[in-house]
Amino acid sequence: MSTRLDYPAPALEFGETHELVPGVRWLRLPLPFPPRHVNVYLLDGDGDKPFLVDTGYAEEQTTALWNTRYSCPDNAVVTHFHPDHIGQAAHLERAGARIHGPRAELEKAKMLHDLSGEAVDASLESFFTKNGMDCHSSMFGRGNGYRRSVPDLPEAAVLLEVGPPDFARAWEVSFASGHSPAHALLFRGEEPVLAAGDVLLPEITPNISVWPDDPDADPLGDYFEALGGLRGLPEETLVLPAHGLPYRGLHARIDELVEHHEERLQELRDLLAKRDCTAMEALPTLFPQELKRASIPFAFGETLAHLNRLWHDGDAERITGGNNRYYYRLTADGRNR
């Protein structure tokens, strides 16, 4: 836990509700995988009608909490397409909520949901192999994991736009790329509060990855840009993260996140100064610990995000080796950092 942050409340039990400041209520829902919880928030909208930020994962314990402990709101915002955020959206829609989300996030959810298992396997195998992984059949053949995690999507989601939403004019919507295509953020200027989702977690860094549908992307560059924009918010802003504890210390946390990624970029410069590497060869430099099979794609994607940042920044070039795999090579600019 960062000692540079101020945490105004201890952890919640599942099913509890805690008012952090007037108009901001914190709920915690279970996850069947680490970090074992996701935070969602009820924020006061127009006419004292609360709206929900994120919905939880599509599993029985969470559904039961919505059915028995919490009331379905009139409006719910899905910050991004990941299963622990959008998973219960269809259930809440059926219960009467109007679901809102960024266009790019809703489109990504539908694209992933509609893929066949064969298409998922083919895409991943090509992507991994091109970037240096010797793929084994045990990694594939499991079908569409996204559709298992998100069995159904809301049928009539409303697109979020930048600015105040029509149900909560005290809040400003903006978007942050990096962790996902256009992660929604909501900011209230009076007694400042930022619903930050996965963008500004207090204890862990959000996963910043390159994925098969956009292998040339620079999500880490996008994330740095998003963090730079958030520096303009007041330091005393109450940050509402999706995991961990709500906190104050916005600028300090931004500094920690930037420093973390800059250190990892330097580790890769040092590695590339010795030899050209594929993403798979570079992965142990950033993730030296033994990884569970389910964690490998995320570590692989994050390694690529850092290599692509060096590539887009001119510190490295990407070349195709004789085995038709991508290698990253340090440039003169990279050596002079």
What pLDDT, on a 0 to 100 scale, did the predictor assign at position 156? Answer: 94
* The pLDDT of residue 197: 98
Encoding tokens for residue 297? 């794609």
pLDDT (tens digit, 9 = 90+) per residue, 25-57?
999 999 999 999 999 999 999 988 999 999 999
CATH number for 265-335: choose from 1.10.1060.10, 1.25.60.10, 3.40.50.150, 1.10.10.10: 1.10.10.10
The predicted pLDDT at position 295 comes to 85
Smallest Cα–Cα separation from 29: which of 42, 38, 16, 41?
Answer: 38
What is the model's pLDDT at position 240?
98
3-state SS record for 27-96: EEEECCCCCCEEEEEEEECHHHCEEEECCCCCCHHHHHHHHHCCCCCCEEECCCCCHHHHCCHHHHHHCC
Supply the DSSP string of 256-319, one letter for each residue.
HHHHHHHHHHHHHHHHHTT--B-HHHHHHHH--S---GGGHHHHHHHHHHHHHHHHHTTSEEEE
pLDDT range class, residue 333, cuts 50, 70, 90: confident
> What percent of the chain is modeled with pLDDT above 90?
85
DSSP state of 229: H
82-114 confidence digits (pLDDT tens): 999 999 999 999 999 999 999 999 999 999 999
Provide mean pLDDT across the span 138-150: 80
> What's the CA gap between 270 and 268, in Å, rounded?
5
Q: How far apart are CA 289 and CA 291, in angstroms?
A: 6
Query: What pLDDT does residue 292 have?
Result: 84
Q: Phi first, then psi: what are they for 176, rounded to 5°?
A: -130, 125
What average pLDDT does the structure give for the chain? Answer: 94
- Length in residues, the chain: 337
Give the per-residue pLDDT at 140. Answer: 62
Q: Has residue 137 got a pLDDT over 60?
A: no
Give CA 145 to chain center in angstroms.
Answer: 17
The residues with which 30 forms a beta bridge, in sequence order, are: 37
Question: How high is the pLDDT of residue 108?
Answer: 97
- Which residue's entry shows tokens 């915690």? 28
- Residue 285 confidence (pLDDT) above 80: yes
Domain range annotation of the chain:
17-261, 265-335
To the nearest whole percent, how much of the chain has pLDDT over 70?
97
Please check the confidence at residue 1 and state whether its pLDDT lies above 70.
no
Mean pLDDT on 216-238 = 97
Range with lowest mean pLDDT among 69-78, 127-136, 244-253: 127-136
Nearest to 291 by CA among 304, 300, 282: 300
Mean pLDDT, residues 192-206 taken together: 97
Kindly report the pTM of this predicted structure.
Answer: 0.95
Task: Tell me which residue of 169, 38, 176, 167 sits closest to 104, measured CA to CA.
Answer: 176
Q: What would the mean pLDDT of 72-81 be, rounded to a whole number?
A: 96
In whole angstroms, give the CA distance from residue 128 to residue 146.
Answer: 18
Report the CATH superfamily, name and number, of domain 17-261.
Ribonuclease Z/Hydroxyacylglutathione hydrolase-like (3.60.15.10)
Report the alpha-carbon distance of residue 98 to residue 45 in Å, rounded: 14
CA angle 220, 225, 229 (to 5 degrees): 145
Q: Show the tokens assigned to 278.
A: 């594929």
Please give the pLDDT value at position 139. 62
pLDDT surpasses 60 at 174: yes
User: In angstroms, rounded to a whole number, what is the distance separating the alpha carbons of residues 274 and 320?
Assistant: 18
Question: Is pLDDT at 181 greater than 80 in this prediction?
Answer: yes
Can you give the pLDDT at residue 183? 98
Average pLDDT over every residue of 286-296: 87
